[in-house]
Amino acid sequence: MKKIITVIGSYNRDMVFQTPYFPRPGETITARNFEMFSGGKGANQAVAASRLGGDVFFITKMGNDELENKSKDKFSKDGIRVNYILQDSDLPSGTAVIMVNDNGQNCIVITPGANDNLLSSDIDACSHAIEKASFVLMQLEIPYNTVKHALDISYKMKKKVILNPAPTVPLEDDIYQKLYLITPNQTEATLLTGIEVENAKSASKAADIFLKKGVQNVIITLGENGAYFKNNEEQFLVPIQEVEVKDTTGAGDIFNGALVVALSEGKNWRQAVEFANSASSIGVSRLGAQSSAPYRNEISI
Ligand code: RIB
Whether the CB-CB separation of 279 and 48 falls below 8 Å is answered with yes
Between CA 36 and CA 39, with CA 38 as vertex, the angle to 5 degrees is 110
Q: Whose C-alpha lies nearest to ligand 1, atom 7?
A: 40
Ligand 1 atom with the smallest distance to the CA of 251 is 1
pLDDT of res. 82: 96
Rounded to the nearest angstrom, the distance between the alpha carbon of 11 and the centre of ligand 1 is 9
In testing the pocket of ligand 1, which one of 14, 60, 140 has its CB within 8 Å of the most ligand atoms?
14
Give residues (CB < 6 A) around ligand 1.
10, 12, 14, 39-41, 44, 96, 108, 110, 141, 249-250, 253, 289
Burial 77-113 (b: 16+ CB within 10 A, else e): ebbbbbebbbbbeebbbbbbebbbbeebebebebebb
Q: Which domains does the chain have, with CATH numbers?
A: 4-22+34-295 (3.40.1190.20)
Given a cut of 90, whether residue 91 has pLDDT beyond it is yes
Rounded to the nearest angstrom, the distance between the alpha carbon of 275 and the centre of ligand 1 is 21
State how far the Cα of 268 lies from the Cα of 78, in Å rounded to an integer. Answer: 26
Side chain identity at residue 122, one-letter code: D
pLDDT of res. 230: 98
Mean confidence (pLDDT) of the chain: 96
- Mean pLDDT over 234-238 rounds to 98
Rounded to the nearest angstrom, the distance between the alpha carbon of 288 and the centre of ligand 1 is 9
In testing the pocket of ligand 1, which one of 111, 141, 142 has its CB within 8 Å of the most ligand atoms?
141
Q: How confident is the model at residue 44 (pLDDT cuts 50, 70, 90)?
A: very high
Query: pLDDT per residue over 278-301, tens digit each?
Result: 999 999 999 889 999 999 999 987
Rounded to the nearest angstrom, the distance between the alpha carbon of 147 and the centre of ligand 1 is 17
Query: pLDDT per residue over 49-75, tens digit each?
Result: 999 999 999 999 999 888 888 999 999
Q: Which residues are catalytic?
A: 253
Ligand 1 atom with the smallest distance to the CA of 249 is 2
pLDDT of res. 14: 95
Rounded to the nearest angstrom, the distance between the alpha carbon of 39 and the centre of ligand 1 is 6
In this prediction the pTM is: 0.97
- Mean pLDDT over 74-99 rounds to 96
DSSP codes of every residue in the chain: -PPEEEEE---EEEEEEE-SSPPPTT-----SEEEEEEE-HHHHHHHHHHHTT-EEEEEEEE--SHHHHHHHHHHHHTT-B-TTEEE-SSSPPEEEEEEE-TTS-EEEEEE-GGGGG--HHHHHHTHHHHHH-SEEEE-SSS-HHHHHHHHHHHHHTT-EEEE---S-----HHHHHT-SEE--BHHHHHHHHS----SHHHHHHHHHHHHHTT-SEEEEE-GGG-EEEE-SS-EEEE-------S--TTHHHHHHHHHHHHHHTT--HHHHHHHHHHHHHHHTTSSSSGGGPPPGGG---
Question: Which pairs count as long-range contacts for 153-159, CB under 8 Å and 24+ apart, including other chains?
Answer: 153/123, 153/124, 153/127, 154/130, 154/178, 157/130, 157/131, 159/6, 159/130, 159/133, 159/134, 159/135
